[in-house]
Structure 1
């Protein structure tokens, strides 16, 4: 039975006094990031960021439970399994008060914690109800499969497209066609700054607008086209020649279309299993929706703009991709915690709720915090199973864990821990970070 939060462990709308939703919020951000800015980050105070600041108190006195958290973390952050390069912070979700910090503004390699910024930008610019469309069009004896950036497209989806296409062809008396794929929505795949050739196609597939069943191959578009061609053949239509790249003509006749699940659902999947391919596709489609080219550079520029509009400090912040595979990325724990704080704010829940909902739960099978990954299974951290939601991050020399938990004082705490260059085995370092999360929860006192 999957482990989830008990009724008392709810997400969204639980720790701040919620204000009336502002329907202009997403429009304001979209307008801001789509305005011509000559490649610069927008400046000036955001109205809703300023409003958020008003909701925070200036109290600095820690309660007894918080003081215990701070004292224990001061000791446990010295764990040799964490090495000497750690950025960490714990904040009270209601007041914004810093409960504990350790080099919190020091920028470190965040690994997949980068996906939290990607998700925030995608949901804000595209909207949580956005769906990705894959189309089939016909012209001059050729069926063109047009990619729309749907990383969730399956063989069954293609089969449904093929069924509709075959019915149309047979009604027109056609029994043979050529097949081409159009993935022109995205530019030619390239490596992001901080990536290496070894990432293709194992850790991440080349970023194309067309892929089926999440296949990790060099040309996912032709691979999808070949699957589609076989499905056509299985239904009695002859496919002439090989599947090739091409571009649909504006005069081609629409034949069939498939829409993905809502973006909010895709974001939850991306965060739950830390899917690099989803992240890089979302980065590019977010750039397009903001009126910019679908490149790493423009996608990350939009992420920075959106975070700025939410009032998140970008001091010492540097990203080059959407997934966190880039070894050139640098983000402080304070910034990651602030992103989570925004996502968890009831005023923004209509747009960003799926970020909190998508965070893996400690001990949740099928997520990156599941027992199959050896998480929260030590004597120190087992007590936090089902009580912590957090995004993981793992690269060689970089391990991160950032999320939220309800502490012993009954108040929700947001935390972020990022470690770089520990000499310990990665599994041991993860155990140490799980222990820090259990410390914030208070079950490991």
Structure 2
């Protein structure tokens, strides 16, 4: 892996201003996305035509290394493993000039590359230091476990909440309680446009505001409540009746609380392992942070508005969820590259740095570009191990790879490759995309 991060490795970065953005910038965007934008936020087209004029955007002057990238990519995108439907682009991260493009504005299914937009919106609206809070309150003989949208909540966290709650109960002379769960922060779970019924529960759990240990069950809230009740029993408090759904009363007394890691930490985890559940929860919490409802529709509206405020083009852009599971999502490679370009911009590092830090590294065990996934292990791509940072994306009929690498000219390049409908085996298509990334790096010359 390079000895320094893509941002820190460069000096005199493009578009630099005298000062890095402060929280006022984030507040301005929050105000903008909170205000209604009649007739604009949810509009868009569902049919996108390929851009046949990509070469007009390519810089007229490329250095020797860049010209080699462009020439090699022009040849290698003809690989039959990539099929005939591919949107791709390479840009120089410092000068912002286009090095290469192939149907760059053609909108295709992005799969999990959509998580890059979700991350950008969440970090911008909520802030990288934001934490999610799970509470326990007491009233009228009932302990209520209140979900706060923390997908990272563990059994250990629940046990600690139970111990704190039991100490308060015993001090009050109480040894018997009822238990209920309050997940009313989110509406009842629904399928997003473009989601298959078969996604539950393997690919994603129904999106609720309360879950423990990332369990994939139909009702994650009751599951967490039942675990909480067991911990109460272990501490000597008797739980009567079944754990039920309910809503905490405003006069209930707070008895315990747990806060998650910072949002920046959660975003890095989400991107490293491409966690769909994190993405959909963050989409809803971002919508709430912008003063909207915790729904797919409002969450994606906020994503669009935030990206627009950063100057990312929304031409041919259509999303219906936060994870990229939707088969109705459409994003061009150019837009994905532009999102990465914003995240890598020194002006926004204070807010968005965790996106770049969270990109899987080629050969990194435990991440989606690790050897356990068969990535960057061919003769063509193995040379790029440790040299490419990129977000993966995989759906039936859609494979994507978008990220950064330091090219042979010593300059960082941002790339995005999105493939749809190849008839090759998915593993073979991934190998071909890894080869394209190695081509941008220059190690596969």
TM-score by length of 1: 0.94
> 1:261 maps to which residue?
261
Alignment of 1:6 onto 2:2: yes
Deviation at 1:36, TM superposition (A): 2.4
> 1:241 maps to which residue?
241
Aligned residue-pair number? 428
Alignment of 1:229 onto 2:229: yes
1:199-248 per-position Cα deviation (integer Å, ceiling 9, x unaligned): 11110000000000000000000000000000000010000000000000
Q: Secondary structure at the match of 1:314?
A: coil
Q: Return 5+ residue gaps in structure 2 as ranges.
A: 44-56
Q: Secondary structure at the match of 2:270?
A: helix
> 1:218 maps to which residue?
218
Q: Contact 2:42 / 2:301 at 8 angstroms: preserved in 1? A: no
What is the rounded CA distance, in whole Å, between the counterparts of 2:172 and 2:9 in structure 1? 55
Q: Contact 2:93 / 2:412 at 8 angstroms: preserved in 1? A: yes
What is the rounded CA distance, in whole Å, between the counterparts of 1:39 and 1:206 in structure 2? 30
The alpha-carbon distance between structure 1 residues 444 and 387, as it changes in their structure 2 partners (threshold 3 A), is same
Indicate the RMSD between aligned Cα atoms, in angstroms. Answer: 1.5
> 1:408 maps to which residue?
408
Q: Contact 2:337 / 2:415 at 8 angstroms: preserved in 1? A: yes
> 1:431 maps to which residue?
431
Matches within 5 A, 1:131-170: 131-170=131-170
Matches within 5 A, 1:170-319: 170-319=170-319
Matches within 5 A, 1:37-76: 37-38=37-38, 40-41=40-41, 60-76=60-76
Moved over 2 A (4+): 8-15, 36-43, 57-60
The alpha-carbon distance between structure 1 residues 39 and 296, as it changes in their structure 2 partners (threshold 3 A), is farther
Q: Secondary structure at the match of 1:162?
A: helix
What is the rounded CA distance, in whole Å, between the counterparts of 2:2 and 2:295 in structure 1? 41
What is the rounded CA distance, in whole Å, between the counterparts of 1:267 and 1:6 in structure 2? 22
1:185-204 per-position Cα deviation (integer Å, ceiling 9, x unaligned): 00000000000111111100
Deviation at 1:28, TM superposition (A): 1.3
1:161-184 per-position Cα deviation (integer Å, ceiling 9, x unaligned): 000000000000000000000000
Q: Secondary structure at the match of 1:342?
A: helix
What is the rounded CA distance, in whole Å, between the counterparts of 1:259 and 1:169 in structure 2? 21
Q: Contact 1:39 / 1:301 at 8 angstroms: preserved in 2? A: no
Q: Return 5+ residue gaps in structure 1 as ranges.
A: 44-56
What is the rounded CA distance, in whole Å, between the counterparts of 2:59 and 2:398 in structure 1? 34
Alignment of 1:356 onto 2:352: no
> 1:338 maps to which residue?
338
> 2:397 maps to which residue?
397
> 2:53 maps to which residue?
none
What is the rounded CA distance, in whole Å, between the counterparts of 1:179 and 1:42 in structure 2? 40
What is the rounded CA distance, in whole Å, between the counterparts of 1:256 and 1:404 in structure 2? 43
What is the rounded CA distance, in whole Å, between the counterparts of 1:13 and 1:62 in structure 2? 21
The alpha-carbon distance between structure 1 residues 348 and 178, as it changes in their structure 2 partners (threshold 3 A), is same
> 1:53 maps to which residue?
none
Q: Contact 1:12 / 1:345 at 8 angstroms: preserved in 2? A: no
1:74-112 per-position Cα deviation (integer Å, ceiling 9, x unaligned): 000000000000000000001111100000000000000
The alpha-carbon distance between structure 1 residues 187 and 418, as it changes in their structure 2 partners (threshold 3 A), is same
Deviation at 1:277, TM superposition (A): 0.1
> 1:440 maps to which residue?
440
Deviation at 1:58, TM superposition (A): 10
Deviation at 1:59, TM superposition (A): 5.9
> 2:21 maps to which residue?
22
Alignment of 1:98 onto 2:98: yes
